Amino acid sequence: MFKSIALRAIRKSARGVPPLLSSPGLQQQVATRAFATAGFPPPRLFDYETVTSNLTVADAIESVEAAFKALAKGKVDVPMPMHIGIEESSVAGPGDCHIKGGYVSATPTFTVKLACVSFYKNVEKGLPPGSGIFIVVNAVTGAPLGVFQENRFMTDLRTGAAGAVAMKYCSSPEQDVVGFIGCGAIAKNMARAAATVRPIKGVAYAIDGAEEFAAEMSAELGVPFEVVSSAEELCGKSDIIYTQTPGASTVLEKDWLNPKGVTIIASGSDQPTKCEIPPDVLAASKYISDLTKQTSKVGELRSALKAGVMTEADVYAELGEVVNGDKVGREGNEIIVVDLTGTGAQDAAIGQVAWDKLSQL
């Protein structure tokens, strides 16, 4: 009997009909699966020029604020980021790849982001050291809708938007002198975002680029900017300090800070090798994370935990809790540190904004 079954299978295979597909039911399943796969249109591709010429940090602020609210209510699915380290060899690297994503409940899309950074050998080839794409997916069908070649532009926008939310809820209206330690692309978006919260006076310090940053932001935003010669001088003048450096070493000290109270919004640490804020400053602060399970692994909180000066129980709040009013922001002359590592909730928010706006072009 088994021999006859095998012979029939061989004959059907020779005729080009796989034996397991000879069953009408199985044939229907395969046909249905093929139809379903072929039925999705290809995702739209939005190139870098289209993305950068049509999106601004102001577009992102409202959606990112809403995403933080949803995050605090447990209404966002945010997995831990994936990190791929590309070690230097004769054929690759050095560099890093970060993969983040998230879904905000009751929104029509979700987003997955791939960001490549620190490919420093690109500079020798006339290329930037970073690149990246956002993939925005239909939350009803699971089909990709759009691929956005943003090369970290959208990441920087949503980071700036988070900076605006942090300033809005974690500083007082009287705090209007805003310092920027590190004056690259993220600092520009932080400045643009800060200017949407209230009128500001800017102070800038960086090893390179502070003069150009101050001139550009002053002209664009119509606000005064002062360039100082040290981070210590900047800290003494500033009510709010944005730090956005490569995070190779700490950028300020506790004794430098304004005794009238200061809000530090740190965005330079997003992997375990980075740290901008000293552990003693973190321990002395009202510490607010964007997402504690993340900042404890790759943010500023990680260094304080490692130093033994804080535990996760010392975290005052996540930013969304302050936005929702569950926790109070500024209370008097305190040090507040807002640790922004960047969450998948923000990526989902800017992804939705990008699709809504650019899909209409």
According to DSSP, the residues that pair with 264 across neighbouring strands are: 241, 337
> According to the model, what pLDDT value does residue 67 have?
97
If phi > 0 it is left, if psi is from -120 to 50 it is alpha, else beta; for residue 100 that is beta
Q: Pairing between strand 262-266 and 317-318?
A: unpaired
d(CA 348, CA 56): 16
Which amino acid is it at 58?
A
Work out the number of other CB atoms within 10 angstroms of the CB of residue 359: 12
Residue-wise pLDDT tens for the chain (361 aa)? 433 433 343 344 344 445 444 556 655 665 556 555 568 999 999 999 999 999 999 999 999 999 999 999 999 999 988 999 999 999 999 999 999 999 999 999 999 999 998 898 999 999 998 899 999 999 999 999 999 999 999 999 999 999 999 999 999 999 999 999 999 999 999 999 999 999 999 999 999 999 999 999 999 999 999 999 999 999 999 999 999 998 789 999 999 999 999 999 999 987 788 899 999 999 999 999 999 999 999 999 999 999 999 999 999 999 999 999 999 999 999 999 999 999 999 999 999 999 999 999 9
Note the pLDDT of residue 216.
98
Give me the pLDDT at residue 243, please.
98
State residue 271's pLDDT score.
77
Q: Provide the whole-model pTM.
A: 0.86
Q: Are 54 and 358 in contact (CB under 8 A)?
A: yes
Q: How far is CA 23 from the centre of its chain?
A: 50
pLDDT at 24: 61
pLDDT value, residue 176: 97
